[in-house]
Structure 1
Amino acid sequence: MTKGSQKQPQPYWNPYLCGIGLGLVLLTTFVVMGRGIGASGAMTSVVSVGVNAVSETHASANAFYAGYLGDGTVSPLKDWLVFEVLGVLIGGFLSGVFAHRTKLKVEKGKSISRNGRFLFSFVGGIIMAFGTKLARGCTSGQALTGGALMNVGSWLFMISLFAGAYGMAWFVRRLWI
């Protein structure tokens, strides 16, 4: 390889094998931890600890925050979901590095500016965060854990999520052309 040339990106893994692997991870979390996986609980734990650091009386008086603070040991590191999310972030980054797929760029269509892409991403993230709290769980928790438990609410959430995404795609498709 000559100086300045890049290595070719590795091919993506087989999605069916990845799905089987994810199912085995989910089964393992049920066996070992007694509950499924999800990401929103980790963020809520971190936010609850932050609220407690700013106003302990408010956090302890609020049933939502108090439920995440638990036994009085105030640390986001006591929640295994925090480590799950950190592992996903680190593992995803390392996977990209080893597959030669890491580079800084903004994915966008020709019809939208870089700042416009950031604005749409931010607004979409806020809407998704609101929906996560409204649905009482993120897509990973609802789809994987709730779906595996045959929870009707989780199935309705995922059907609504896909229907909403397809419906919204019609309105924003011109931004990707």
Structure 2
Amino acid sequence: VLRFEANQVGAVYGKGGETIRRIQDRTGAFVEINDKGKKGSDIVVCNIMGDPDAVKEAKGMVLKAIEGEIELKAGEVMEKLELDVGAPAVIGRGGSKIRELEKLFGVRLVVKSGTGLCRIVGRKDDVEKAKKEIITIVEPLLEEKRIKEEADRLAEQAATTSDTGAWGGTVDDGDGW
């Protein structure tokens, strides 16, 4: 029995159930995820049944799926991108943007919103095209973050030097100059 967060169920099922089927086919164990538990619960229960060796191997594969480890197929490459504040824009509402990008470019995307790390898997040319598109989505958000950080830094700097003028004198010395 494994317990993990409900938002990780998709990683275990995989696109169209591909991951969970592969785990079951490769190990011979039966993997069942009870995500219909208590309403509002953030934890799901995963039962793995079979002979002890199969259960152990399946458990390891489920944990790897949860951690976002991706198994490359023949001819596939993987690129990693740091999305930072752009992760939600790449994920989209309910994963809609990820699905759109996967369909458009024929790649698999794994985005960990907590870390901002994105993995793109597929044929080299498809991965490059997807990477360029993701960068066009994320770059304006990263630039906006840089501008805000610079503005905050300058505001903080101005606040610490606000009692002196450009020539080193006090800004308000009482004579109006």
TM (norm. structure 1) is 0.30
Q: Which has the higher strand share?
A: 2
